[in-house]
């Protein structure tokens, strides 16, 4: 339109053959009002309409280009995000394959020498509850984790595909809208060209003042070469330029459409490639899971698994040989230690409970918390064992009540095996010890025991040393007292007098030795008692005789015991010098 206006303004007036140009064309104003021809008014109106249409078209085109750039940027961001997610999927898949390979390599089958495989390994269900080894439980947990991870990945992938489809639909709608706009532009341009051609063809030739119209304007061909006016040649050139400009515009539009189609095709190829990768990942994962299940079902249990399955206790787990850790013993620790002595060492229930009670009370002493007696702890261990035994008796039941009891029992295994004194909180003087005991009684046994307090350890050591010294002194004093009593009650051995002094009554000296123990002398014998009864001696007189006989031993008299007494015959009865001769005779007889 700018070119058309410029051409109309700068175009030279038509020079009629052999006629002067009109005054209006020479810029000379004539008298009277200026006349506007119908062609000029129509051209002005058409020009204004064409300008408005072109302005609207170019505004829409600019908006379309901006929107296309936004879509291209969105597609680039989507591709970058998809690439990052593909890397994450690849990493997760590699992790799953590493776990699978590690599990397959480390689970070596046990070769039983000359034995048939177990019924459980052949897939035959046996009576009793199904036992799950720790390795199988670990594999099951890993498999569940892998399945959850793959499920999350595929959910994200599905959302990504849905978003990609939304983008593709948006691109298609944008292409359809652009195509419709292009059709509208083309129609408007064709309409403009038709109007322009129609105006050019139907425009009447300029009538010169007082002159006849030219033969060319009337359609009459004159002799000689056809003459083309400057205005027509300029219009033809401008029309060619306009056609070239429109051709360039439509070429650019076509290239943009081709580029958009390339982007859409690239998005489609990306979706197809991602879909193929997802199918491949899914197939590989299913194959790995099939191999894993097949390996788990057909692989015989290893020696460690078989040993652990033998020592595993229902609801309790594996045995333990001692209580360790920085927390007070739990109910599960107590039962595991109890079953170690009861099942492994074949001890009775009471013996195993006593052993566990000793271990528990020693562990509580480390925390310096007062406890109940060891006997009471043993009773609590036995009660806990009987509770487990009652659940084990009904383990084949599948009722909700039995299942809830088992779940409650398993939850309480991690609770504290509380053997503290009923007044432990009042007896504890240190604030930290009270807080530790309260935390251990909570769910999960919060808190741990710290290292040994050197100051308290030294005071305990000194206290134990003083107690040991006091006990040693008491033992020494009691042994000395017993030794003195034994020496006073024993009888001294007398030296035999010479053979010449046998006719006289003489008191033999008493020889005592403080370096050796003395034997006790049994005074009242059955023979003496029967003799005293036969002679009619009263109890008081008999007691006096025995007392004197024990205090004042004498050498045997010649007339009483004429035969010599050998040392092997034992101690010879001695008589008191105050005892009558007949009584001595009776006693010797």
Residues 539, 544, 545, 546: what is their CA dihedral angle, to the nearest 10 degrees?
A: 90
Structure tokens at 456: 């308290």
- pLDDT tens by residue, 51-63: 888 888 888 888 8
Is 170 within 8 Å of 264 (Cβ atoms)?
no
DSSP summary character for residue 317? B
Structure tokens at 388: 């487990």
- pLDDT tens by residue, 415-466: 999 999 999 999 988 888 889 999 999 988 888 877 666 677 787 788 888 8
Is 189 within 8 Å of 248 (Cβ atoms)?
no
Is 412 within 8 Å of 404 (Cβ atoms)?
no
Calculate the alpha carbon distances from 187 to 181, 190, 305 in Å: 10, 5, 84
Is the predicted pLDDT of residue 21 greater than 60, yes or no?
no
Collect all residues with Cβ–Cβ distance below 8 Å to 192 and sequence separation of at least 6: 50, 53
Angle at 358 between CA 357 and CA 360, to 5 degrees: 65
In angstroms, the CA 460 to CA 579 distance is 66
In angstroms, the CA 275 to CA 82 distance is 12
Q: What is the pTM of this model?
A: 0.32
So what's the pLDDT on residue 168? Answer: 79
In angstroms, the CA 251 to CA 231 distance is 30
Is 320 within 8 Å of 337 (Cβ atoms)?
yes
So what's the pLDDT on residue 358? Answer: 93
Side-chain-facing half-sphere of 335: CA atoms under 13 Å: 25
In this prediction, residues 327-356 reach a mean pLDDT of 92
Is the predicted pLDDT of residue 579 greater than 50, yes or no?
no
Calculate the alpha carbon distances from 291 to 104, 286, 294, 297 in Å: 9, 9, 5, 10
- pLDDT tens by residue, 32-49: 556 667 777 777 888 888
Most confident of 98-107, 258-267, 323-332: 323-332
Closest CA to 175 of 263, 52, 286, 78: 263
H or E segment at 510? strand 510-511
């Amino acid at each position: 339109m700018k070119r058309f206006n410029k051409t109309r303004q700068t175009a030279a007036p038509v020079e009629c053959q052999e006629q002067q140009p009109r005054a209006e064309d020479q810029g000379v104003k004539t008298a009277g009002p200026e006349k506007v021809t119908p062609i000029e008014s129509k051209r002005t109106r058409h020009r204004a309409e064409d300008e408005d249409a072109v302005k609207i078209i170019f505004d829409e085109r600019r908006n379309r280009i901006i929107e296309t750039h936004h879509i291209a940027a969105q597609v680039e961001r989507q591709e970058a995000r998809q690439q990052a997610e593909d890397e994450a999927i690849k990493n997760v898949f590699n992790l799953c394959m590493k776990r699978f390979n590690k599990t397959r390599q480390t689970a070596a089958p046990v070769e039983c020498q000359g034995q048939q495989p177990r019924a459980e390994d052949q897939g035959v269900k046996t009576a009793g509850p199904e036992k799950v080894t720790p390795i199988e439980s670990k594999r099951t947990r890993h498999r569940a984790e892998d399945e959850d991870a793959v499920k999350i990945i595929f959910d994200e992938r599905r959302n990504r595909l849905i978003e990609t489809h939304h983008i593709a639909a948006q691109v298609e709608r944008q292409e359809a809208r652009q195509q419709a706009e292009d059709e509208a532009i083309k129609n408007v341009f064709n309409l403009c060209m038709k109007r322009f051609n129609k105006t050019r063809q139907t425009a009447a030739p300029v009538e010169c003042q007082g002159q006849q119209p030219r033969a060319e304007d009337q359609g009459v061909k004159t002799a000689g070469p056809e003459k083309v006016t400057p205005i027509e040649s300029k219009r033809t050139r401008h029309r060619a330029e306009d056609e070239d400009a429109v051709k360039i515009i439509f070429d650019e539009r076509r290239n943009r459409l081709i580029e958009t189609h390339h982007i859409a095709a690239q998005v489609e190829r990306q979706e197809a490639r991602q879909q193929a990768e997802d199918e491949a990942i899914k197939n590989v994962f299913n194959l790995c899971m099939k191999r894993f299940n097949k390996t788990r079902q057909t692989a015989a249990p290893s020696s460690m698994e078989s040993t652990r399955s033998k020592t595993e206790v229902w609801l309790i787990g594996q045995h333990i040989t001692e209580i360790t850790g920085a927390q007070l013993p739990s109910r599960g620790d107590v039962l595991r230690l109890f079953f170690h002595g009861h099942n492994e060492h074949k001890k009775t229930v009471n013996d195993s409970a006593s052993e566990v009670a000793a271990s528990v009370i020693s562990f509580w002493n480390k925390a310096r918390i007062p406890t109940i007696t060891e006997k009471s702890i043993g009773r609590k261990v036995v009660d806990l064992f009987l509770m487990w035994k009652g659940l084990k008796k009904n383990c084949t039941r599948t009722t909700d009540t039995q299942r809830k009891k088992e779940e409650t029992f398993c939850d309480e295994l991690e609770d504290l095996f509380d053997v503290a004194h009923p007044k432990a909180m009042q007896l504890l003087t240190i604030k930290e010890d009270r807080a530790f005991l309260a935390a251990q009684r909570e769910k999960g046994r919060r808190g741990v025991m710290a290292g040994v307090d050197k100051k308290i350890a030294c005071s305990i050591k000194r206290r134990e040393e003083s107690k040991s010294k006091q006990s040693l002194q008491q033992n020494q004093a009691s042994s000395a007292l017993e030794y003195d009593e034994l020496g006073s009650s024993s009888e001294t051995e007398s030296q035999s007098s010479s053979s010449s002094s046998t006719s006289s009554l003489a008191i033999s000296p008493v020889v005592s030795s403080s370096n050796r123990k003395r034997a006790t002398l049994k005074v009242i014998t059955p023979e003496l008692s029967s003799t005293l009864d036969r002679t009619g001696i009263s109890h008081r007189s008999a007691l006096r005789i025995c007392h004197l006989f024990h205090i004042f031993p004498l050498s045997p008299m010649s007339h009483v015991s004429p035969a010599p007494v050998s040392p092997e015959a034992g101690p010879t009865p001695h008589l008191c010098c105050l005892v009558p001769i007949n009584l001595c005779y009776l006693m010797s007889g």
